[in-house]
Structure 1
Amino acid sequence: MYKKINYICVGQGAIRACVVTLILLIIFTGITSIFGDNDSVKSVVYMIITCLSVLYGASYAASKAGKKGWLVGLMVAAIYSVCIYLASIGAGRESVFVMRDVVRFCLALVVGTLSGMLGINI
């Protein structure tokens, strides 16, 4: 029998991922204000922050949903990526979708899918 996904869990997972991103970015900003910044380091740190946030949000949502973890994780990652992209446009970034954004989006989807599977089994 077909079982529906609890979309409230998906929304909560995406919100939690965005909050984790905000907290980690505040910490990173504090560190870079003390030690200075480097563009190549920033890119890697942003990718790590994205992966950690999606990992947490997707595993949380999948553990709450209790079924179809891969799909729940994929949906959390997609919603998270869209929210972060819209927030960056709102913060003054150009709305050009460059290769770096495509890679970050695809990586978020992969991490979200795998984290959703992990969240079911935890």
Structure 2
Amino acid sequence: MEKSNGYLSAIEGVVRGFIITVILLLIFAIVMTFVEVSSQVSYIVYLVTTIISIMYASIYAVRKIGKNGWLIGIIVTLLYLFILYIVSIISGNSAVIAADGVKRLVLALVVGALSGMIGINLQ
């Protein structure tokens, strides 16, 4: 299997991760139209959606690149979260990163690094 350019594969992984995010959030939005959902459940759904998307994006990018699994996983995670942060600012959400945001960042980085290691071993 021929390995591709790292930058392009990382960006492609992030785009695919966002596609997964959009699909999962559309499904959640449809469920929310029929069922009353608490803010705690919404928080958990958003967190799980983010984690699944980061896992998929990291594994995809690492499998395409074929080396440095943990590093590529972290880079993909940072790029994904940066774009998500920019989109949330543009959409009018507050740009303040609280202690909860730092916990989510650390969790996402750990998931990205582990997903990168898994992706390199799936070859």
- TM-score computed with the length of structure 2 as normaliser: 0.91
Once the 2 structures are TM-superposed, how far is the Cα of residue 45 of structure 1 from its aligned partner?
0.8
The corresponding residue for 2:37 is 37
Once the 2 structures are TM-superposed, how far is the Cα of residue 104 of structure 1 from its aligned partner?
1.5
- Count of paired positions: 118
2:63 aligned with 1:63: yes
The corresponding residue for 2:81 is 81
SS at match of 2:94: coil
Output one character per residue of 1:57-80: Cα deviation in whole Å (capped at 9) or x when no partner. 000000000000111111000000
1:71 corresponds to which letter in structure 2?
A: L
Once the 2 structures are TM-superposed, how far is the Cα of residue 101 of structure 1 from its aligned partner?
1.7
Distance in 1, matches of 2:107 and 2:81, equals: 10
CA RMSD, Structure 1 to Structure 2 (Å): 1.1
Output one character per residue of 1:89-112: Cα deviation in whole Å (capped at 9) or x when no partner. 111101111222212211111100
Unaligned regions of 5+ residues in structure 2, if any?
none
2:87 aligned with 1:101: no
1:119 corresponds to which letter in structure 2?
A: G
Once the 2 structures are TM-superposed, how far is the Cα of residue 9 of structure 1 from its aligned partner?
1.1
- TM-score computed with the length of structure 1 as normaliser: 0.92
Distance in 1, matches of 2:100 and 2:20, equals: 21
SS at match of 2:96: coil
Unaligned regions of 5+ residues in structure 1, if any?
none
Distance in 2, matches of 1:81 and 1:39, equals: 21
Distance in 1, matches of 2:22 and 2:104, equals: 17
**Larger mean Cα displacement after TM superposition, 74-83 or 103-112:** 103-112
What percent identity do the matched residue pairs reach? 39
